[in-house]
Amino acid sequence: MAAKFKIAILGLGGVGGFVGGKLALHYANSDIEVAFIARGENEKAIKARGLLLITSQGEETIHPSIVTSQPELLGVMDLIVCCSKNFDLEASIKTLGPCISQDTVILPLLNGVDASERIRKLFPQAEIWDGCMYIVSRLVAPGIVRVTGNPHSLYFGSHKGSQQKLKHVETIFKSAGINANLSDDISKTVWEKFLFISPLATLTSYLDLPIGGIVSNHEYKELLLNLLIELKNVADAKGLLLPEEIIQKTMDRMISLPGETTSSMHSDFKKGGKTEVESLTGYVVHQGKDLNIPTPNYEKIFAILLAKSNASVA
């Protein structure tokens, strides 16, 4: 009898709850085992009642094979899908040491662009892929994930990874109803997502407004455009060479979002907890300085958001 293919989901928020939920639901009682690594109230709620996934298609209650805050009990995993917050990445993934061997694949689905590089420093023996996800989803209460907005898309890939493994994981995702796509140039794909999420997170947090309030105001819309231009200049200087039309395409995509759409960073600011401001806003400022690319709007907003973030967790 063949050994089970073991998948761990790290971070059961909006992204991890959706991906993990779809996988655990589809592969219940199969040769693929899906484990949730959760903590605190989220762990308690999922153990007691399962994970409630709410989408436009309805509600599904999912009971994964394993829910635990002790990853050392899981053994070596074949695939770890990392969906933690950027500010928790190192601390949370370090606990997975006993789950990681040279055959383990780690797929980060975070909002920033440097997650794989950071993970590789901790676990150079593993196969680290890159990935990103377009989805509007939130952990609205412990054990409850709500998905709203447009259909989701997951992109992943690796410049050095095994094509056999990549194709196998794509099949696993697609069979579970996840719109997963292998990217031929995953670095470029991740940066295209960053061009979308970084200005959105930065400006919704700075102005304390959803996207509708931003694109309907001429001054705010102009500021959004300037952030997009500054970020693309940084990407070009790094050699990503994103297409010129991507700024207008990204702006059009933002305009088409439901007016009440905001970012998870904005939500975190409103809650008064930790935020991803260093990864989503500060990263652009630091890269701009390293590459001698001016980012005046990002710099101004980052200074204000950083002070606000530090004050909220002091």
Instruction: Give SS3 for 251.
Output: helix
State the pLDDT at residue 313: 54
State the pLDDT at residue 83: 96
Q: Is 58 exposed, middle or buried (0-12, 13-18, 19+ CB in 10 A)?
A: exposed
Confidence grade of residue 1 (pLDDT, cut at 50, 70, 90):
very low
The answer to whether residues 68 and 44 touch, using CB atoms and an 8 Å cutoff, is no
Residue % of the chain over a pLDDT of 70: 97
State the pLDDT at residue 161: 80
Tokens matching residue 232 = 């693309």
Average pLDDT over residues 263-267: 91
Average pLDDT over residues 259-284: 92
Per-residue model confidence as pLDDT tens digits over 141-152: 999 999 986 679
pLDDT above 80 (res 234)? yes
State the pLDDT at residue 33: 95
State the pLDDT at residue 2: 53
State the pLDDT at residue 3: 80
From CA 114, how far away is CA 135, in angstroms rounded? 20
Q: Is 292 exposed, middle or buried (0-12, 13-18, 19+ CB in 10 A)?
A: exposed
State the pLDDT at residue 204: 97
State the pLDDT at residue 37: 96
Residue % of the chain over a pLDDT of 90: 83
> Can you list the domains of the chain with their CATH numbers?
5-184 (3.40.50.720), 188-313 (1.10.1040.10)
